[in-house]
Amino acid sequence: MVIFPNSFSRIVSYSLFGIIILNLSVLTLWADFEHREWPFHKNIELPSSFDGTSYIKVSLDENVFERSLPDFSDIRIVDMTNRKELPYKLQIEQGERVKKSYEVTRQDYQEILGQYTEFVADLGKDGILHNELEIQTYSTNFQYDVLTEASNDKKEWMVLSQDSIFDLTIVDKKFKAQNTTVKFPANTYRYIKAKVITGDAPLFKVTGLQSHYFQESLPRKRPLMPLVDRRIEDKENKTSELVLDLGFSGFPVNEIIFRIQEDNFYRKVKIESSDDKNNWIIVNDSGSIYSYRNGELRRKTLSILFPEIKSRYLRITIFNEDDSPLSYSEITLLAFEHQVIFEANSKSDYSIYYGNKVARKPIYDLERTFEFMNEEDIPEANLGEEMGNIDYAPTIPVTERFPWLLPVSVGISALLIALLVVKTYRKVNKSLGPRE
């Protein structure tokens, strides 16, 4: 049989197209929800007061964190009356923060030794919403009360609040903790008068001012109490080392809180993560915890924030320098609350399915339309006990059932491409004719 060049090209093209489609089909799972392919599920317990049809939100728990894919793409919400997959929105409760800053000018500044430092902050015009005044200073190691008043004409003043500012500086440890931002109720007054009560302490020096409007909704977090797998006191390197075991991988940790009995300490802390206790990755090497008490001045920070991780083990290294090791009575790990939101009817039963390691990430319209909805009034449901799927029969990908299929198909593709190149080359040479 004679195969002409054009026919050969078409055969090769169709063959390549078929092989590409075959490769894509064996590498990608495009099936909709199949009950037997999900190994675990939990019943969703709707609120007792829930009636009718409405959106519902339910928080994921440790079982779902442990058994789900890292991006939660295997989660499915299912109406159990017909085993129909329902659209949902995955939401991470990270809170929200809004901050606007405004330049201000300082007026009527005075320092009264043994009494106070007083000044007026001018925002330049009224009508600007603000609720904070940041006082910049080079003074150190202080704690002062601050009285604030507001006015639009500097004649009639309205009391706003009484707050406090502080600075804690330890030069030999290169440590500084400071908060010189005064908070008061949100208002639109042009002038803010502040009186820093110093008493017999050294005069408080103001070097600059800035006004802010700050609004924050706190994130919702889920706690986990890890086991202390081991504790090592390294006298040579002057460190305490704690290895924490969360019990499983997948819990999206981003904060650690220590409970410590001692006062008057400052420690630098390094945090590392691992899934096998052999290979460690640095998560945060610039954290610190401290507690300081001196008369009425008392400040402490016993928590450290770090980028989210999902490893099973954490190694905490505390640098004691020449001080005695601290006693850690309790350690808590925190993760942002993860919730799924879906539309439910009080007359139906619902379950969350998870654990399908080859599931694709679903794409729903709800993901795009949810921002237009009011979240505040959405009722919260609970998850029941974890149950195994008695019908579980996972679909084994073609590449696992026939491991030779993919390399063979790639080899055939390469061979056909090579033949096509050779054939095309010969055809081009022939059309050009003999060289002179």
pLDDT at 218: 84
For residues 255 and 253, what is the distance between their CA atoms, to the nearest angstrom? 6
Give yes or no for a contact between 309 and 271, defined as CB atoms under 8 angstroms apart.
no
Average per-residue pLDDT in the chain?
87
Q: What global pTM score does this model have?
A: 0.72
pLDDT at 435: 52
Decide if pLDDT at 402 tops 90.
no
Q: What is the pLDDT of residues 150-176, one digit of tens each?
A: 999 999 999 999 999 999 888 887 888
Q: Is the dihedral of CA 154, 156, 160, 163 positive or negative?
A: positive
Domain spanning 98-217, CATH architecture: Sandwich (2.60)
Averaged pLDDT for residues 121-138: 95
